[in-house]
Structures are given as C-alpha cells and as structure tokens.
Chains A and B, each alone.
Chain A
Amino acid sequence: MIGRLIAGGLRSRNWLGDWRTKRSLSGFRQFLPWRKSPGRDSDTTTGPLSRIAPRPSTDGDIESARKRRNDWTDLLKRLAPGSIGQKVNILSGKNPTRSEFLRIRSQPSEVADVRHAVRDISIEMGFNEEEVSQIALAVGESLANVIQHSYQGACDKPIDIRLEVDHQDSSAILRVVIRDFGKQVDPACIQGRPLEEVRPGGLGVHIIRTIMDETIYERADGGGMRLTMVKKVTPVTRKMNES
C-alpha cells in the first residue's frame, strides 16, 4: 500500500521508507495547528492530519512521525468491523468516532498536504483506489473554492478542517467538514454549472457533489461558510479490497 507521510516539512512517498525533504511548513506556526475536538474523547494530536503540523526537521521527528503513522494505522485496524468492544476500549467513550482537527492558511501550496493526508485516511478506511482518488479530489476542490471564492485569493486566511471516521458495524463513514471565515452566501446559490457550457471554471462544486454521498453548505455561526461532506465505505467495497 502506497501512502504519503508528512511531518515537520518532511514527506515520504512510502511510509516504510524513501524519506525526502519537501519544504518547511513554518507557515502553520502562526496558527494554532491542533485543538482538542469538543465533545470527543479521542486525542487529536495523532493521526495523518497531525503530521502536517510544524515540527523541526530532525531525525528524531522522522521517527516520531513514523510512530504516529503506525499508531493511526493500528488504531484503524483495531476499529475494523466486528471489533465493537475494542472500539469502546480504545476511545473510552460511547461514540466510536475518530475526530481530527486542523487549521491551515488559505495558501494553494498547503492544499496538497491535506489532500495527501485525506488520501491516507481513505485508504486505511477501506475505500477502493478510485474512491480514494475521488475523495482527495473533492477535498482539494473544496479547499480551492474557499481560497478562490470565500477569500478571493488571499493566502493568509484561516481554514478549519475537521475529519471524522465513524465506524458502524460493517460500514464506515468519512466525514470532512471545512469551515472558512470569509463572506457568507446563500447555500442555495452554491450550485455546479451545466456541463454543456464548456468553459474554464465553475466545475468544483459539480465535482464535489458528484463524488460525495452528502454535501451540505451552511452559513457558519460567527461568520463564514461550513461545508460538510460525507462518504460511506460500503461493505462491498471493503470486501473487494480485502480479497
């Protein structure tokens, strides 16, 4: 399984090796990169999205990032269908949901990191290869829309990303919530354009709505917009991937 691992400005093509320096992610430092998810029992300082948080580029951090990756992998394995008891033990709560939170800046260069992390999580959840690519695309389009439309290209505005993995019996649900603090618009006006009009632009919303099972745009309390996207792993998909 090919995955990407990001930590402290380092990224791996394959999380078992091939480390290479990519770039500094020092831009994240001016924000609070990680916060405890309200009402959740899970520790939000681990998991794929946490690997985007800024850390010095040292060998020690490579190792700790590798360990965090393994922790996340192990957790998802233990949360596999049929292990309900373990779910409760691991999360010490009633809701077997893994929740992660990240705040990034509205820089196009940061979108790829989030996209890769979402891809990793989707792979671990059991989505097939096509679905993994599509989910990463939907998340990438959502963030691009925030940058282009909500913030009109400004690169220093905050974007909050919440990512939840919810296991339910034989299926699992990936929920991605993207919140901005830009201008509010009527959610009913957020529509994809007719594809018969072949021209650049305006395809993002169509792509998102086509890929995801649920897509909800809302005005967020305190300003800005909130987009909630849901994709469900079907038992059929899981079975195909396991075989």
Chain B
Amino acid sequence: MATAKPQIGIVGFTGCAGCQLSILDLEDELLDLLQLVDIIDFRMAMTGNKEGPYDILFVEGSIVNEKQEEELKELRKKAKILVAIGTCAVFGGVQALRNFMNDEQVRVRQYGTEGAKKHPVIKVKPLNQVVKVDHYLLECPVNKYDFLNFVKYVLAGGAPKLPNIPVCQQCKEKGNRCIFLEDGILCMGPVMQAGCGALCPSHNLPCDGCRGSILQAAYQQQVDLMLEKGASIEDITRHLLKYTAEDEQLKAFLREKWKEQGKKMEYFIE
C-alpha cells in the first residue's frame, strides 16, 4: 500500500546545509529508504516539494531571526514528529557563539551602520527554544547512519537509543594514540558524546564536542585537570563551547569556573 508510507520532510534553517547533504550522501541506502518512506519535502534534493503534513520532519540549522521563528512554529503544526538534526538545530552550532557578543556590534560588523537597522537579529536559538522537539540526532554534520537508524527504529515501532559514551571509548577501539595524554592537546573527548567513530582524534585533532556532552559529564574533573596542566580557562571554554554554546548546563558550569578564576565569562573569540 503506497499510501501507507510515512511522509517525510527534510528542511533547513541557518546552517551550512551539510546535514541535508549528509543524508543525500547515503547513496547505497537511499533507494531502499524510499521503499519505506515518501520524501515529500527536500528542497536541497528535488523539485515538487509539498509543505506537509509530515509524519516525520527533520530540521537542520538554528533559528536566528523572528521570521524563522514563525516559520518553524508553522512547520511544527504540520509535523507529527519533529526531529532536530545536527549541532546547529540541537545546540545552536558555531553561530551561537554570537550570543556572547552584543547584538548591535554583531549587526554593525556584518551589515554596516545603515544596514544594521534593516536586519534585526535575535539571539541564536536551537530549535527547542522555539518549539517542542521530539528527538535529537547529533553531530556536525548529522551522522547519516544515526539518521538511517532513527528512521528504521521509528518505523519498526521501537524507541531509538543514542549511544551515551565518551569519545575515549571509540579512540581506544580504534587503537588511537591519546593526543591529550601524549601531546597535551586540549581534547574534550572524555566528556563528549561519541558515535562519530572518534573522527577528529583519529586525525590528531582535538575533539571539540560537536555531538554535545555525555550524561553526567565530568566537566569539573576535566577542566580542573586542564587548568592544572597549564591551559587557560579561555582556551578550555573555546573548545567546550565551540559547537554547543547553547548547552545551558555547560554554560552555567563554565560561568562558575570563570568566577573561581576571578573573571567574568564573556565573548572570548577575538
């Protein structure tokens, strides 16, 4: 029964569109996936899009102005299940670092003094600050297999379970050298979600936590250890908040940490 197939939408707000591209990158599985679902809205990939109603709507990107806020609210009304995909939609993404700056400054810098007046902006928001989000799929860009597994589990009637393991596990499974232990690189792997296959540390790059932190992350121990090894709170914060500036728990923790250092947490990118 063709009509019984769930109707799927894949849309994007402010982001790099990399999540949508990742889904398109499921080349070996896409045709099989289409046996299970009808993709009715996927502007990046096709014409003849239909704006709902959706059984599952996947939304990429963060919300950066009022118009987007309204659009997202409308989409929510048309979707049975709304899934935030990728770091921007889940945590705000790199652009959420803007939230540490003065709005006025941001606009003047981007659009000039005159232009700034025409471009009202709001704080960068992950989707769940605007609408109810039913599920979250992580990574920057979203992990295409997480996406595929999610669809499979929802259709099979099960509850998709995301891993909640730190990046260190996957580094050990892959037999990687520990770049924190051996090179002193500020790697946030111990407190950040794996699922990426320890992609960055496998290439000698530090984990900056694009999947967000694990449950009960040992922030305190991690930050104390790094401070003890001579890292600055500024550098540590840059790594921890790079992708997840709107992680309230992490931000609250860091504010306290800055206070302990006798400093007030502020914009730290420049």
Real complex partners, A and B? Answer: no
